[in-house]
């Protein structure tokens, strides 16, 4: 079922949680609502579910207006951040709840309910825990039960609020893959809320980046990462180093640091900030003709195939810069103690003095 | 789990002994005296007192008042707790403060207020008398009304903190799964609050049975008609019928002990359920 929200506004006591949100989610897609806390993503999810009423705007399922349709008739599957399992019921009874609430005519018989519950618990790999109570389950297990319960009525829309928020890193990664897999198995349009960029990037077909009640950008994970539509998106997706300095049309300068940049006239002379992603630079023992950015190594951490370095600028800028090198590059470099190194950016994002994103540039 | 230590110094033991002594002198001794006094002139006197018309009438009246009060306050308390914890509205805080009025106010004052409003000379009382020839005060309806007033906070006060800490998500989950509001209450809310609810009922009942101040004001103390057990005790004591007074008092004390036992069982049951859940986790 496709979901469309159209011009949604919602205020809580004068605070605009959502301001004119319009969004289209095609049938069968897995959409990630990504944003910092307070960006309105959970409110939007609750409005799609019918748990909140928008002040203005419409929600449409398959182009049918459901804005005024009561929650219980919307037939959406919803997974709460804290799972909200019925603590006085066993795992099996939790999953069966929706089936038992059906009106008498549509309610399946006792055996049919039992069979359906078994099938669902097998789907989420919890069939051995049917008799347990929620208090006896781990976070990841509760999550699976909550999902099985939400799927019991075969919803065509599945909504998940921070589905992995309360889990530890390893279980999180596992469940993420598993959810992606599950989504491909069953025909359902899923929307999930997250504040974790990595999670949104890995799981979704489409990412909706939100901030302060606005949509900043909608697109595939690759698009929003490679072609961020705004400074906020660039900032929010992954770590950045901000280099502040002055530009004279050919050279960017800050203290002892110099970079030769050709922006084809896109950036006016004057203050110019450059954003540098940690993985878009390398280090050398000597400056290049086009780049002179002296730095000193402050700290390093080795994890997996990459080495993350913290660098202190020498005679320019302020604050520590973060750069990621692969292990081999790092081993070849092998700098001495207190040795001055030179940062060589491969690609930079320009930010003009009025805060807009300028072109991407490569020093040459 | 417990952070308490066994006392091991002499002054710690002294403190414990002092606590026990205070409990015996202040609580246990009077209770023992009640039963001792009742049986002072033999079991026969107790039996004849128990079977006297006044006593049976008082027992019946007390039970009737409790039987009406408890269900009324059960429903009222659940509704109130539901409103205060499940809806966000202007005056919610005020409402939850107003619930406490019967706790804060002396029951005698409550009785007088009801007398002024609903009595024969009162605003509402006069109108009811004129229009429908109904008399509320100095009769069963008035006694029930003040008892309901005095005992109305108990259920709500037990439920509100519990329902607040439980939050609304499970009910939302039920409604998302297609449950009606009533189904969500019956299958999700009620099972989660049932022990607390029973506890509230036990407290309400104990208070309803033992209420003296407010009831004495509105009962008019008509012998054989509007005397509940606590009122009868007072009456018999003034008549120098010591055995009678103490027999009635013993009856009330016995009811209190049963209530206490019920309350302990309920608390034990709740905590052992919690412990069981925790143990299987570890």
**pLDDT-based confidence at residue B282 (cuts at 50, 70, 90):** very low
CA distances from B195 to A34, B130, B201 (A): 42, 45, 10
Q: Nearest CA to CA, how far is B78 from chain A (Å)?
A: 19
Question: Quick one: pLDDT band at residue B1, thresholds 50, 70, 90?
Answer: very low
- Name the residue among A316, A339, A338, A321 with its Cα closest to residue A282: A321
Q: Please answer yes or no on whether B176 and A86 come within 8 Å at the CB atom.
A: no
- From the list A80, A86, A101, which residue is nearest B178 (CB)? A101
How far apart are the C-alpha atoms of B64 and B140, rounded to whole Å? 9
Query: Do A84 and B173 count as a contact with CB atoms less than 8 A apart?
Result: yes
Average pLDDT over residues A202-219: 93
Whether residue A1 is predicted with pLDDT greater than 70 in this model: the reply is: yes
When mean pLDDT is compared across A12-21, A329-338, B208-217, B236-245, the lowest value belongs to A329-338
With H, G, I as helix, E, B as strand and everything else as coil, classify residue A8.
strand
Q: Is there a contact between A285 and A359 (Cβ–Cβ < 8 Å)?
A: no
DSSP-derived letter for residue A263 is -
Residue A329: which of A362, A357, A307 has the closest Cα?
A307
Q: What is the pLDDT of residue A35?
A: 93
Q: How confident is the model at residue A44 (pLDDT cuts 50, 70, 90)?
A: very high
How confident is the model at residue B63, as a pLDDT? 94
pLDDT digits (tens, 9 = 90+) for B170-187: 999 999 999 999 999 999
**pLDDT top residue among A238 and B152:** B152
What confidence category does residue B275 fall into, taking pLDDT thresholds of 50, 70 and 90? low
What is each CA distance from A54 to A10, A22, A189, A294, in whole angstroms?
5, 13, 21, 54
Beta strands in A37-113 (DSSP E): 56-61, 64-65, 76-79
Q: Does B191 touch chain A (CB under 8 A)?
A: yes
Interval A91-136: pLDDT, tens: 999 999 999 999 988 999 999 999 999 999 998 889 999 999 999 9
Contact yes or no for B177 and A88 at CB 8 A = no
Of A49, A135, A153, the CB nearest to B277: A135
Residue B130 vs residue A30, higher pLDDT: A30
Q: Given an 8 Å threshold on Cβ–Cβ distance, is A97 in contact with B169? A: no
Is the confidence at residue B128, as pLDDT, over 80?
A: yes
Considering only residues 164 to 183 of chain B, which have any Cβ-Cβ distance to chain A shorter than 8 Å?
A: 169-170, 172-180, 183
Q: State the pLDDT at residue A206.
A: 94
The region of weakest confidence among B100-114, B116-130, B157-171 is B116-130
Nearest to A88 among B175, B192, B278 (CB): B192
Q: Sorting pLDDT into bands at 50, 70 and 90, what band is A214?
A: very high
Residue B177: closest CA among chain A residues belongs to which residue?
A: A98
Residue B229: per-residue pLDDT: 92
**Mean predicted confidence (pLDDT) in A347-358:** 80
A169 CB within 8 Å of a chain B CB? no
Q: Share the mean pLDDT of chain B.
A: 88
Answer yes or no: is the ipTM higher than 0.90.
no
Distances (CA, A) of A335 to A297, A311, A341, B23, B41: 9, 13, 8, 79, 105
Average pLDDT over residues A241-255: 89
A71 touches chain B (CB under 8 A): yes
Q: In B, which residues are within 8 Å of A98 by CB distance?
A: 177-178
pLDDT at B280: 52
The residue with greater pLDDT, A2 or A364, is: A2
Q: How many CB atoms are closer than 10 A to CB B52?
A: 16
Q: What is the mean pLDDT of chain A?
A: 90
Average pLDDT over residues B121-150: 88
Q: Considering the entire predicted model, what is its pTM?
A: 0.81
Q: What pLDDT is recorded for position A187?
A: 81
How far is C-alpha B235 from the geometric centre of its chain's CA atoms? 23
Contact A80 B172 (CB under 8 A): yes
Q: What is the pLDDT of residues A332-343, one digit of tens each?
A: 888 877 889 999
Q: Which helix (H) or strand (E) holds B127?
A: helix B123-132
Question: What pLDDT does residue B276 have?
Answer: 61
Distance CA A349, CA A267 (A): 11
Cβ–Cβ of A101/B183 closer than 8 Å?
Answer: yes
Does pLDDT of B272 surpass 80?
no
Which residues in chain A have their CB less than 8 angstroms from residue B176's CB?
A: 49, 51, 71-72, 76-78, 150
Mean pLDDT of B150-167: 92
Q: Is A115 on the interface with B (CB under 8 A)?
A: no
Q: Do β-strands A206-211 and A30-34 pair in parallel, antiparallel, or remain unpaired? A: parallel
Of A51, A72, A136, the CB nearest to B277: A136
DSSP string covering B139-169: SHHHHHHHHHHHHTHHHHHHHHHHHHHH-SH
Assess whether pLDDT exceeds 60 at residue B114: yes
Residue A101 sits at the chain B interface (C-beta within 8 Å) = yes
Give φ, ψ of A279 to 5 degrees: -95, 5
Q: How many CB atoms lie within 10 A of CB B269?
A: 12
Partner residue facing A84 (CB), from B170, B187, B278: B170
């Amino acid at each position: 079922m496709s979901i469309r929200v159209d011009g949604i506004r919602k205020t809580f006591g004068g605070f605009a949680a959502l301001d004119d949100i319009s969004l289209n989610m095609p049938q069968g897609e897995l959409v990630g609502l990504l944003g910092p806390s307070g960006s309105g993503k959970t409110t939007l999810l609750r409005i799609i579910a019918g748990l909140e009423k928008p002040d203005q705007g419409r929600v449409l399922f398959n182009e049918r207006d459901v804005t005024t349709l009561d929650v219980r008739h919307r037939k959406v599957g919803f997974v709460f951040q804290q799972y909200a399992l019925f603590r006085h019921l066993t795992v099996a009874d939790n999953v069966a709840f929706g089936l038992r609430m059906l009106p008498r005519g549509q309610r399946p018989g006792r055996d049919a309910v039992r069979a359906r519950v078994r099938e669902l618990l097998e789907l989420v790999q919890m069939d051995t825990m049917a008799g347990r109570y929620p208090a006896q389950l781990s976070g990841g297990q509760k999550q699976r039960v909550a999902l099985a319960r939400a799927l019991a009525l075969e919803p065509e829309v599945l909504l998940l609020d921070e589905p992995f928020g309360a889990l530890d890193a390893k279980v999180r990664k596992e469940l993420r893959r598993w959810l992606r897999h599950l989504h491909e198995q069953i025909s359902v349009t899923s929307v999930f809320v997250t504040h974790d960029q990595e999670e949104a990037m890995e799981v979704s077909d489409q990412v909706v980046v939100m901030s302060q009640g606005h949509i900043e950008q909608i697109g595939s994970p690759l698009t929003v990462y490679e072609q961020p539509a705004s400074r906020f998106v660039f900032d929010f997706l992954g770590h950045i180093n901000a280099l502040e300095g002055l530009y004279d049309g050919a050279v960017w300068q800050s203290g002892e640091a110099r970079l030769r940049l050709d922006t084809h006239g896109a950036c006016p002379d004057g203050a110019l900030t450059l954003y540098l992603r940690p993985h878009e630079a390398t280090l050398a023992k000597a400056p290049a003709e086009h780049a002179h950015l002296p730095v000193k190594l402050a700290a390093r951490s080795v994890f997996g195939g990459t080495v993350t370095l913290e660098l202190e600028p020498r005679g320019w800028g302020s604050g520590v810069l973060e750069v990621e090198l692969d292990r081999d590059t790092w081993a070849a470099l092998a700098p001495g103690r207190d040795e001055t190194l030179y940062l060589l950016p491969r690609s930079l994002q320009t930010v003009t003095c009025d805060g807009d994103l300028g072109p991407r540039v490569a020093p040459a | 789990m417990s952070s308490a230590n066994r006392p091991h110094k002499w002054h710690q033991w002294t403190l414990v002994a002092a606590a026990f002594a205070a409990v015996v002198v202040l609580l246990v001794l009077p209770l023992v005296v009640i039963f001792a006094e009742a049986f002072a002139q033999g079991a026969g006197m107790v039996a004849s007192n128990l079977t006297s018309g006044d006593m049976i009438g008082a027992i019946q009246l007390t039970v009737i008042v409790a039987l009406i009060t408890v269900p009324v306050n059960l429903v009222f308390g659940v509704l109130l707790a539901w409103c205060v914890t499940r809806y966000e509205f202007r005056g919610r805080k005020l409402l939850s403060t107003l619930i406490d009025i019967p706790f804060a106010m002396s029951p005698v004052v409550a009785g007088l207020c009801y007398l002024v409003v609903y009595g024969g000379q009162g605003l509402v009382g006069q109108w009811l008398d004129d229009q429908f020839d109904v008399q509320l005060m100095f009769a069963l309806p008035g006694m029930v009304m003040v008892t309901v007033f005095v005992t109305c906070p108990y259920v709500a006060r037990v439920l509100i903190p519990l329902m607040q800490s439980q939050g609304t998500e499970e009910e939302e989950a039920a409604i998302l799964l297609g449950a009606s509001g009533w189904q969500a209450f019956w299958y999700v809310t009620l099972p989660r609050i049932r022990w607390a609810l029973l506890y509230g009922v036990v407290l309400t009942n104990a208070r309803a049975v033992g209420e003296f101040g407010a009831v004495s004001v509105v009962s008019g103390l008509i012998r054989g008609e509007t005397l509940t057990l606590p009122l009868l005790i007072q009456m018999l004591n003034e008549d120098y019928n010591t055995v009678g007074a103490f027999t009635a008092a013993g009856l009330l004390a016995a009811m209190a002990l049963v209530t206490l036992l019920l309350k302990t069982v309920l608390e034990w049951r709740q905590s052992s359920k919690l412990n069981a859940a925790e143990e299987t986790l570890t």
